DNA sequence: TTGTAGGCGTTATCAC
DNA sequence: GTGATAACGCCTACAA
């Protein structure tokens, strides 16, 4: 049982050639309905399953959509939420194109050799998560682009490059968040941002500045703090915030985890919730609505971003646009819009 | 540039046969140091990269470790935390065995045809996440086992089968949690469990019962509630709990999300934190320590479980145990131990 | 220590 | 419509 059933056996039993079996199973070329049925029957009966491995080899296509995961030490810098959403979106799209997802974890120190991934024929195209502005990284991607490889960067923008990128509009997301705080009457808004190797961080800062400007509020760099997107870094930042509590009436954090870290820190310092500054986080992760008080946050359509990124790498089944083949990928940066979710943490009456 | 460099070219330029090139690059067979160097040089210079696709084909091994993800609608029944931890563990182990991770998403309704995965040669072995006790599922896995396929079920136990399984000791985990509540003076402990298609749920119930018995506390089935591991279901259960508040002094939930849902529900009903029953959750996800009050929880070593599961499917590099080849997999169920993390939510003074 | 040659299971291009 | 038959790029005895 469970033995390997070869295409040859099917061909023999059906009284046709192997080529015909192939044609039937791939629904390619003209086939007499009669033989089609016969072959299908035999194949079914014998339990023949074509080898994807051999097929891909013959086509010299791996059949894989690679997903490069950033290296994050056991403490999850990025929220798990973030990734599982994106992955689901990607996987969903890939699946109905018959592509499989190959997960690629970056090694701790080592820089990723994207080009090799393709030359090894491990992937036909790939999506890069958690990219950052580092020299080696940019060079590797530039090379990839030169080689005409289809790839898409998610959630990061490389300034000055024209990579295929899918991102959310964090400038607008942050602007909306901060404007909301201002509308609530806040004027001294602390901003706990992430490291600026992530374009996400610099974009958020832009949005923050725009909101202030729109409201005619002067920018005070003393209000800018830097964390690393972890809860711990929020906890640490809470020390600074606690100190300036009478000079701060709101905190905008670049993600929910840091926001919650700050809240936790203030709480541990004995500050009553009623005396909390107004809070807005970012990502609208699960934790936001479970927080006390429920945390206002900027929702990012991670799932949809995943779908979009995948679909940019998948040859359109309807109209074949060979243009993609040449350019490797649309050289377009697409921004999905975010949505501000208002909860108790930012409401001042 | 970026053109395909074939092994042939390397062979020619190095003045050796293709076989020798192979031997050098695979560090197999005896090679004169001199030619080794020469070949390596040429390969390097030409930028030759062997095709994994062709290699796997020739070896008739996919080189992939499949990971089957459960279908979870956009509302994440399982915590994302859970998966990203396990995936990291698996990925880590797989990587240093030169295996790549192939992610397989279940389709919504359709039952998974595990056997085909192997026959298509998409994977050499696979790890099944989020399995449940359903007829089709069990049959599919039994077949896999008959066929001698190496696979490992994570986080679920199939009663009466002898699959290779990696799990945590949830009976003991729950017992410890409930015993702790009892030590805190609680006697009427509500238990919000998950659906019993998951062995996790039934095991937790066992642990709950054992703890009661050890303490000589009578079991009251009225105290057992069923959710579906989502926050929402916790929220719903809070209605019942709120009603019986003077007959309940503690709540043990089968995961953190439900515990937090209950807390949220009670809070929305205007119950002051001081009047909360004692709480213990399960999983020790990030949310537990961010909760208010910080939630006691049972820590599950998801990452280590991932590593363990992967290592069971990876041929030992040291001593080759062909036994694995025959049995497909150690027929052993391994249980890792959990750890009760005590936080404010369960402390009664 | 190295070369030769057959085979892996498809796809795809020809003829018929 | 269908059947031969080259590729595809590598691995692996087996020979030398």
Strand partners, B283: B299
Please say whether the beta carbons of B324 and B150 come within 8 A. Answer: yes
- Backbone φ and ψ for A82, nearest 5 degrees, come out as -40, -55
Contact criterion met (CB < 8 Å) for A83 and B80: yes
* Structure tokens, B179: 């015993």
For the record, the structure tokens of B26 come out as 């695979």
Residue B84 scores a pLDDT above 90: no
Note the pLDDT of residue B81.
77
pLDDT of residue B73: 65
CA distance B255 to A62: 40
Tell me, in Å, how far CA of B311 is from C1' of C2? 37
**Coil vs helix vs strand at B166:** strand
Task: Provide CB contacts within 8 A for B92, sequence distance 6+.
Answer: A105, B306, B307, B310
Residue A244, token pair as written in the block: 């300036």
Report helix, strand or coil for B21.
helix
b/e map of B82-96 (b: 16 or more CB within 10 Å)?
bbbbbbbbbbebbbe
pLDDT in tens, A23-38: 888 888 788 888 888 8
Chain B hits for A92, Cβ within 8 Å:
105
Among A9-23, A153-167, B150-164, B207-221, the range scoring the smallest mean pLDDT is A9-23
Q: How confident is the model at residue B256 (pLDDT cuts 50, 70, 90)?
A: very high
For B180-311, where are the E strands, in sequence order?
189-193, 224-226, 250-253, 278-283, 296-299
- Per DSSP bridges, beta strands A250-253 and A278-283 are parallel
- Contact criterion met (CB below 8 Å) for A89 and A305: yes
Joined together, the tokens standing for residue A199 give 């374009």
Per the structure block, which two tokens stand in for A305?
């971003």
Kindly calculate the radius of gyration of chain A based on its CA atoms and give it in whole angstroms: 26
- Residue A149 Cβ under 7 A from any strand C atom: no
The answer to whether A290 contacts B264, with C-beta atoms less than 8 Å apart, is yes
Choice between B230 and A28, residue whose per-residue pLDDT is larger: B230
Tens digit of pLDDT for each residue in B291-347? 989 999 999 999 999 999 999 998 664 444 433 444 445 558 999 999 999 999 999
- The partner residues of B279 in beta bridges, in order of sequence, read B251
DSSP three-state, residue A112:
coil
The encoded tokens of residue A206 equal 């832009």
Higher pLDDT, B89 or A107: B89
Chain B residues with CB under 8 Å of A95 CB are: 105, 107
Alpha carbon distance B95, B150 (integer Å): 18
The yes-or-no verdict on residue B2 having pLDDT over 90 is no
In the block, tokens 């969903």 appear at A92
Q: Which tokens go with A106?
A: 């970056």
The one-character DSSP state at B318 is S
Interface-testing mutation among B1, B53, B233, B283, with chain A (most A C-beta atoms within 10 A): B53
Using a 10 angstrom Cβ sphere, with 0-12 exposed, 13-18 middle and 19 or more buried, the burial of residue B332 is exposed
Quickly give B43 CA vs C3 C1' distance in Å: 19
pLDDT of residue B322: 38
pLDDT band at B96, cuts 50/70/90? confident
Please list every residue in chain A whose beta carbon sits closer than 8 Å to the beta carbon of residue B54.
57, 121
Report residue A277: phi and psi, to 5°: -70, 165
Helix (H, G, I), strand (E, B) or coil at B68: strand
Low-confidence ranges of chain A (pLDDT < 70): 1-4, 72-79, 315-331
Question: Which spans in chain A are helix H?
Answer: 7-14, 18-26, 33-46, 52-59, 80-95, 114-119, 135-146, 170-183, 199-215, 231-243, 256-268, 286-290, 302-313, 322-327
| Alpha-carbon gap, residue A342 to A258, rounded angstroms | 17
Burial-class residue B99 by CB neighbours within 10 Å (0-12, 13-18, 19+): buried
Quick one: closest CA in B to A148, which residue? B2
């Amino acid at each position: 049982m469970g033995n390997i059933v070869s295409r040859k056996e099917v061909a023999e039993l059906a009284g046709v050639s192997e080529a015909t079996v192939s044609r039937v199973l791939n629904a390619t070329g003209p086939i007499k309905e009669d033989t089609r049925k016969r072959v299908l029957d035999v194949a079914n009966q014998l339990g023949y399953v074509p080898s994807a491995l051999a097929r891909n080899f013959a086509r010299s296509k791996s059949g894989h959509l690679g997903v490069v995961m950033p290296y994050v030490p056991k403490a999850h810098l990025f929220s798990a939420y973030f990734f599982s959403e994106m992955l689901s979106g990607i996987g969903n799209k890939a699946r109905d194109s018959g592509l499989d997802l190959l997960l690629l974890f970056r090694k701790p120190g080592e820089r990723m050799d994207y080009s090799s991934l393709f030359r090894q024929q491990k992937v036909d195209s790939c999506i890069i998560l958690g990219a950052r502005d580092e020299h080696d990284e940019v060079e590797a991607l530039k090379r990839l682009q030169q080689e005409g490889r289809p790839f898409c960067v998610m959630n990061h923008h490389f300034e000055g490059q024209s990579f295929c990128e899918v991102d959310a509009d964090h400038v607008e997301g942050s602007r909306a968040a901060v404007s909301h705080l201002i509308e609530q009457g806040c004027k001294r808004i602390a901003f706990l941002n992430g490291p600026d190797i992530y374009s996400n961080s610099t974009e958020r800062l832009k949005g923050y500045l725009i909101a202030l400007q729109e409201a005619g509020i002067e920018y005070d760099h003393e209000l800018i703090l830097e964390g690393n997107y972890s809860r711990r870094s929020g906890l640490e930042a809470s020390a600074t915030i606690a100190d300036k509590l009478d000079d701060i009436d709101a905190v905008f954090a670049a993600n929910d985890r840091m926001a919650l870290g700050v809240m936790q820190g203030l709480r541990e310092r004995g500050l009553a919730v009623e005396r909390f500054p107004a809070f807005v986080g970012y990502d609208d992760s699960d934790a936001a609505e479970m927080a006390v008080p429920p945390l206002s946050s900027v929702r990012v359509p991670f799932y949809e971003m995943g779908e979009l990124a995948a679909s940019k790498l998948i040859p359109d089944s309807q109209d074949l646009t060979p243009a993609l083949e040449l350019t490797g990928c649309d050289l377009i940066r697409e921004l999905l819009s975010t949505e501000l979710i208002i909860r108790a943490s930012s409401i001042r009456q």
